[in-house]
Amino acid sequence: MQSVNSVRTNGRWVPAEVAGPAGRHAVVVGGSLAGLLAAQVLTGHAERVTIVERDRFPEEDEEGGEAGAVGEGTASASRPGVPQSRHPHVLLEGGQLALDALLPGFMAELRAAGAPRVGMPADMVQWQNGRWFRRVPASTHIHTGSRAQIERLIRRRVLAHPSVALVEGTDTVGLLGDAARVRGVLLRKRGDGARDEQRELAADLVVDASGRSTKAPRWLAAIGADAPYEEIIDTGLAYASRVYRDTTGTLGGEPSAGALGLHVVPNPTQPYGFVVLPLEDGTHLATFSGLRGDEPSTDDSEFESYAKRLPHPVVHRWLREAEPLSPVSGFRRTANVRRRYDLPGRRPAGFLATGDALCTFNPIYGQGMAVAAMSAVALRDALADPRRTPTTRRVQKAVLAASRQAWDISAGSDKKMPGATGNAVAVRLADRVAGWYLHRVQERTPGDPVVGRAFRSVVSLNEPLGALFAPAVARAVLFGPARETPAEPPMTREGREGTEYGAS
Ligand SMILES: Cc1cc2nc3c(=O)[nH]c(=O)nc-3n(C[C@H](O)[C@H](O)[C@H](O)COP(=O)(O)OP(=O)(O)OC[C@H]3O[C@@H](n4cnc5c(N)ncnc54)[C@H](O)[C@@H]3O)c2cc1C
């Protein structure tokens, strides 16, 4: 066993001592969104921050994109550590605000790089609970560019910081220290001939951002600490995605009228989902979702026929005419998992978890990236709080709290899905009361701009759940009728751009 004596900084291998003067050292396991954003925050609290990533990041071409042919720079650009990159990644408003708070000007940069911005509900033809949404002016926007693009731009910003170093192509395989304090990580380089060589990297703080497949609970047990209790709700949802070119003229037409995407939202009585969204290179990413036992096929020749299960032929028609540009990719590990490091137990100082390694959501709600960014904001605020000593436990609680609303949305909805399994599926009395109210909210969301606006502000993680109980919203939910909605998919917008129903 030997100590790590070199790190890669801004693309060059240099001795560790050159990467920064001796002092506090933080190690972040995982160089994806949650890890990069945590590292950015930690630059304010440690003299050196080392990101350990098992993949090697793609080389960038001269324009700053990753080299490749059609589709390869977008949804198809996937590295082994983030296979979910081949599937749609919407960036919710809560995440947009958090990213701008962490990396000023980031959203403008993302827009300038071509990431499409889709107004909800104005730009989307959307079906939910037996209703088509009225396409009234947008009250929130999502970004629908590829995950690879978002990660690449964040990576560029974070790795430019002089105290951040990157160790690529290296697995973290364990923790150093004991149940009282974590003192670093155990690393193993990937690649030929390097498999058995393990090295130690000392650290004052270790942040686990290694994603939904984290091994940290095992690493903690190996040093005598307690693994966290895990809450699990699994609907068995599976994704199948494929890149298309819209040859129909249906999507991406005149912004003032045409739709930018199609979305069929599943529910307990209609469990099949579909979404097609624009990517930054002008192509579209189409995805089916289905539950355990009736998953969408990943066979190229069978992909389109899954559309026959949907409640309207509009999707099937679009797919029949659009041009497929990639093979079909599948994804099945979609359970909601929350690791309760905040609960009492033998927890070592100097160890934190964030991002999917802390709380993973069913991806259908589109929350993970936003929560990764909001968790980094919570980390920043907890570390900088002048009123409280930032103990490991206190900071971990604050980071977990950043995911609470997202968890309530995805876990609360998934409990109701047929066949959901896991130790957290039990429906309590409070869930039933909330479920009754939320059902009425959802009935009104497609047709009532006031209720719709409140609902969107909550699911986009921009406002707390309490927004659904504001007086005007509660009146409409409790006493108002569900307003009329379009009988057929609305292919044009309603109302004036930039104004909101109910605002005047
Ligand atoms: C199918 C699917 C669709 C999704 N859609 C959306 C969406 O629409 N909107 C949204 O906001 N979110 C979505 N998500 C969630 C989103 O992908 C994640 O929340 C987001 O990427 C943040 O994850 P992370 O950084 O915590 O982990 P990840 O992105 O999973 O990254 C973990 C990183 O750790 C590295 N790593 C793992 N183990 C080790 C180790 N032992 N040593 C060193 N490095 C290691 C991996 O290589 C990887 O780089 C989706 C997820 C899935 C699965």
Q: What dotted CATH number matches 2-60+154-232+335-410? A: 3.50.50.60
- The helix or strand, by DSSP H or E, that contains position 323, with its residue range, turns out to be strand 323-324
354 closest CA partner among 372, 335, 377, 336: 372
Residue 338's φ and ψ, nearest 5 degrees, are -120, 125
The answer to whether the CB of 242 falls within 8 A of the CB of 303 is: yes
Cis bond leading into 121, ω under 30°?
yes
State residue 212's pLDDT score.
96
Check if 145 has its Cβ closer than 6 Å to any atom of ligand 1: no
The answer to whether the CB of 194 falls within 8 A of the CB of 171 is: no
The answer to whether the CB of 427 falls within 8 A of the CB of 415 is: yes
Check if 277 has its Cβ closer than 6 Å to any atom of ligand 1: no
What percent of the chain is helix, strand and coil (3-state, nearest 5)? Answer: 30, 25, 45
d(CA 79, CA 411): 28
Cβ neighbours, 10 Å, residue 258 = 16
d(CA 288, CA 302): 12
State residue 427's pLDDT score.
84
198-202 and 2-3 beta bridge pairing: parallel
Q: Ligand 1: which atom is nearest the Cα of residue 214? A: 38
Which residues, in sequence order, are CB contacts of 132 under 8 Å at separation 6+? 125, 126, 446, 485, 486, 487, 488, 489, 490
Which residues, in sequence order, are CB contacts of 329 under 8 Å at separation 6+? 78, 83, 86, 87, 240, 241, 242, 298
Residues 110-115: contacts with CB within 8 Å, 24+ apart? 110/143, 110/145, 110/149, 110/150, 110/153, 113/64, 113/145, 113/149, 113/153, 113/280, 114/145, 114/280, 114/281, 115/143, 115/144, 115/145, 115/149, 115/150, 115/280
Which residues, in sequence order, are CB contacts of 209 under 8 Å at separation 6+? 28, 29, 30, 32, 34, 35, 38, 353, 354, 355, 357
Check if 273 has its Cβ closer than 6 Å to any atom of ligand 1: no
State residue 484's pLDDT score.
93
The answer to whether the CB of 252 falls within 8 A of the CB of 278 is: yes
Instruction: Please name the residue whose Cα sits nearest to atom 1 of ligand 1.
Output: 84
- The helix or strand, by DSSP H or E, that contains position 263, with its residue range, turns out to be strand 261-264
360 closest CA partner among 208, 159, 175: 208
Pocket of ligand 1, candidates 4, 29, 32: which has the most ligand atoms within 8 Å of its Cβ, to mutate?
A: 32
Which burial class, exposed, middle or buried, applies to 104 when counting CB atoms under 10 A from its CB (0-12, 13-18, 19+)? exposed
Dist. CA 136 → ligand 1 center (Å): 33
Cβ neighbours, 10 Å, residue 55 = 16
Check if 57 has its Cβ closer than 6 Å to any atom of ligand 1: no
Which residues, in sequence order, are CB contacts of 74 under 8 Å at separation 6+? 145, 146, 148, 149, 243, 279, 280, 281, 283, 285
* Per-residue pLDDT tens listing for the chain (504 residues): 433 333 343 332 233 333 333 489 999 999 999 999 999 999 999 999 999 999 999 876 444 555 443 344 454 467 899 999 999 999 999 999 999 999 999 999 999 999 999 999 999 999 999 999 999 999 999 999 999 999 999 999 999 999 999 999 999 999 999 999 999 999 999 876 656 689 999 999 999 999 999 999 999 999 999 999 999 999 999 999 999 999 888 887 555 468 999 999 999 999 999 999 999 999 999 999 999 999 999 999 999 999 999 999 999 999 999 999 999 999 999 999 999 999 999 999 999 999 999 999 999 999 999 999 999 999 999 999 988 888 999 999 999 999 999 999 999 999 999 999 999 999 888 888 888 999 999 999 999 999 999 999 999 999 999 999 999 999 999 999 989 999 999 988 886 544 333 332
Per-domain residue ranges of the chain: 2-60+154-232+335-410
Which pair of structure tokens corresponds to residue 12? 């060059």
